[in-house]
């Protein structure tokens, strides 16, 4: 299983997701080719991104990244697995694109890559509990 992060092209006028009005229109704003180029500049080993579904494997971690097939994008999804080091690459991708993670526990990740560690650590602890529960049938 993966720790999933939705990254969105959110204007700087919104300091957090609480600032986004409920009637605000999310419009596609970034040419897909430009977004792919920005992602690949931050994660040069990302494979197959031009198909819309890229993969990157690191030492003990991996990222699957989905930019979709539309010519204009306003978001992408990261599916993260592995150790803490993966968050450095996630932060680099977010910095390169200017997109922000919608996961509340990851706000500020771009400024401080270690800020996302707690979120992924909590997810791993939860998944460990789920696996133990399934294994013991409790």
Query: What tens digit of pLDDT does each residue of 98-135 get?
Result: 888 876 555 555 555 555 566 667 766 766 777 777 77
DSSP state of 33: H
Query: Average pLDDT of 4-25?
Result: 81
In the numeric block, which tokens belong to residue 42? 């931050």
Give the Cα separation of 134 and 138 in Å (integer).
7
The residue whose two tokens read 């529960």 is 133
Q: For domain 3-136, say whether CATH 3.30.310 is its number.
A: yes
The answer to whether residue 96 scores a pLDDT higher than 70 is yes
Q: Is the pLDDT of residue 79 over 90?
A: yes
Mean pLDDT of the chain: 82
In the chain, domain spans: 3-136
Q: Can you point out the beta strands (E) in 1-138?
A: 3-8, 30-31, 53-58, 61-66, 72-73, 75-82, 100-101
pTM for the complete prediction?
Answer: 0.78
pLDDT of residue 19: 80
Q: Which two tokens stand for residue 95?
A: 């910095």
Q: What is the pLDDT, as a whole number, of residue 42? A: 95
For the segment 41-70, the average pLDDT, to the nearest whole number, is: 93
Q: What does the block give as tokens for 103?
A: 């996961």
Euclidean distance between CA atoms 21 and 121, whole angstroms: 31
What is the arithmetic mean of pLDDT over 80-89?
85
């Amino acid at each position: 299983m993966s720790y999933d992060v939705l990254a969105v092209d959110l204007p700087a006028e919104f300091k957090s997701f609480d600032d986004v009005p409920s009637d605000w229109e999310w419009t596609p704003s970034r040419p897909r080719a430009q977004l792919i180029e920005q992602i690949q500049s931050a994660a040069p080993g990302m494979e197959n991104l031009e198909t819309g579904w890229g993969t990157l494997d690191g030492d003990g971690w991996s990222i699957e990244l989905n930019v979709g097939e539309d010519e204009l994008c306003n978001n992408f999804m990261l599916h993260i697995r592995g150790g803490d080091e993966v968050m450095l690459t996630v932060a680099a991708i977010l910095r390169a694109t200017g997109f922000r993670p919608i996961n509340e526990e990851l706000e500020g990740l771009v400024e401080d890559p270690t800020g996302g560690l707690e979120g992924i650590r909590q997810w791993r602890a939860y998944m460990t509990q789920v696996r133990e529960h399934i294994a013991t049938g409790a």
